[in-house]
Chains A and B, each alone.
Chain A
């Protein structure tokens, strides 16, 4: 097992390198660069920058070189000094921006995912066991509504409801007085309250989807002959369901765990903008708009590493869950 994990970790290296090249190349694809965008902005505010000044700026940031040279420098800085480059937009090193947003983003994403699983798996099981019952229909209806409602609309509705009934639209992740305060119990409670709407909004779409997946998987498994065998032994329905089909139906959900984390990362962008959340989504969005390539590149690379790592984690979980996979891998 451990040799398998090591092997997989080593295999990650070329994958990540390849992804980083592609990422950097794509960011460079659109015509123009950060400086031309910057110049355009200056022009609209009345200042005119001449060609010579622009050229000077480009040279000082190394933007006049070919993309692979820039890529090489970027990667080398990353490997040798842990330097992810410089954000032209924020005028700060990329690492400090990531440091600022990453922890909160991770917390919100992981809590959203936990919310998704905690809600969808039990409902999925219930809907399958009580297929075509009134409760199943109600959950199904809610599920489709959840899937069809755009996140930003849901965010606005919940903000409105919160404002009407609690008196606070719960914008952001902290009340103003707590933003720069140290972590205290009061701040934690405040944070928790502010998490409710984002978690529901971010988690709703995937919750609705996972309910469907879980339900379909369960129905599939509950049709299998081993259900009859289990019944013929005299086991109670409850024990049969929990031991056999649930365990089997969890597999596909586990196998998507890896990229669903990233999906929560990127899927929350619009929600984060609407709810004014200090998360990475809006930052990434601005970086792409202004071709702030080191920031954008680092984010994308980070995401890619997340997917690769996540896939590895789901594979390891699957191996642990399913003896047949263990066998094939020769473990």
Chain B
């Protein structure tokens, strides 16, 4: 069961990810970092992918433009229009023509994401020279222009500066400029604000929203921060242990969370005025997804677990409504349950 979407929405489809698997062969068995993930990205909309460290959200983002680690084995499909990106040759000509031009990515550590040895202008211009124009002068002008658009003052001077002359927030703006320099249809933002302090975070998020309106691009926003999701996203996919356990519109997720993991995540957000002394947390740790028996990966940590059911087979996905799906036995069809119990 994949994300069944209304036909009206179908024309708005930009990217369709279906049954995506990313596995790493290890000495102890196959590590299933991403295990059967499906989602759609719609034009001009923002999909948030939320989950804790190691849930596979970041590698899912990387896989979209084919920059997942070389040691991984990938299967399933990632369709951009009629092209299945999974089938393209790694680092081949076709995928490289898409990277940076149709799909761009911004990363978590803006400082580390730029090479310290070249000027900001040089590194942004690279994309433009590759996808838009061969004329260096024109490319430099476009670069200065995009630097201006992301709110970097004095862009002509900044063009010739090196990363160490920028602050963290400025660097993230420069990275956004780099990603948007070729006006992509899809922007993958991999925890773009995690390394920034809170006030800068807000500025960068506002900038991204504003630029999204201007450029009309779709965003896949990867984060562990549900607060940011509420602000940025139209839809949220909650990932746990390589799987999407729940996906719904932002409003639905906050008002009506179904999966015990989603509920746990929401409970662990501090709110002002609550009397609780301690912040709630989800007990236990994430298991390592190597040689997992067919069971719910959240079983050990779940408050609502049903022993004998949840730890006996793969969790089926249930479509609760048009825009809400969840993978949990609490909501599974009764047919299935009786099948197990019998």
Contact = CB atoms under 8 A, between A and B. Distances in A.
Nearest to A248: B117
Interface string B124-142: 0011001100000000000
A324 B100 contact: no
Contacts of B100: 232-234
Interface residues of B, number: 33
B97 A324 contact: no
B101 A248 contact: no
Contact of A228 (B62, B98, B101, B126): B62
Interface stretch (B107-115, B235-243, B302-310): B107-115
A228 B117 contact: no
Contacts of A224: 112, 115
Contacts of A243: 118
A234 B101 contact: yes
A248 B114 CA distance: 12
Given A233-B127, A244-B115, A248-B117, A228 B97 contact: no
B178 A323 contact: no
B337 interface: no
B165 A231 contact: no
B96 A228 contact: no
A234 B116 CA distance: 20
B211 to A, nearest CB: 17
Nearest to B93: A236
A331 to B, nearest CB: 13
Nearest to B126: A233
Given A228-B67, A228-B107, A324-B116, A235 B164 contact: no
Chain A's interface size range is 20 to 34
Contacts of A225: 107, 109, 112-113
Contact of A233 (B99, B116, B117): B99
B130 A323 contact: no
Interface in B117-172: 117-119, 123, 126-127, 130-131, 162, 164-165
Nearest to A237: B91
A323 B116 CA distance: 7
B177 interface: no
A237 B117 CA distance: 18
Contacts of A235: 96, 126, 130
Given A228-B67, A323-B116, A234 B99 contact: yes
Interface string B77-118: 000000000000001000011111100110101001111111
Contact of A327 (B65, B117, B165): B165
A91 B70 CA distance: 68
Nearest to B103: A232
A247 interface: yes
Given A226-B112, A322-B117, A323-B164, A232 B105 contact: yes
Most buried by B among A224, A235, A247, A322: A235
Given A228-B107, A232-B67, A233-B100, A324 B126 contact: no
A247 B117 CA distance: 8
A223 B162 CA distance: 21
Interface string A299-325: 000000000000000000000011110
Given A323-B117, A327-B162, 14 more contacts: A225-B107, A225-B113, A226-B113, A226-B114, A228-B105, A228-B107, A232-B65, A233-B99, A234-B96, A234-B98, A235-B126, A248-B115, A248-B117, A323-B116
8 contacts: A228-B62, A228-B107, A232-B65, A233-B127, A237-B91, A248-B117, A322-B117, A327-B162
The 10 closest A-B pairs by CB, nearest first: A234-B100, A234-B99, A233-B100, A225-B112, A234-B96, A232-B105, A323-B162, A229-B113, A233-B127, A226-B115
Interface of A: 224-226, 228-237, 243-244, 247-248, 321-324, 327
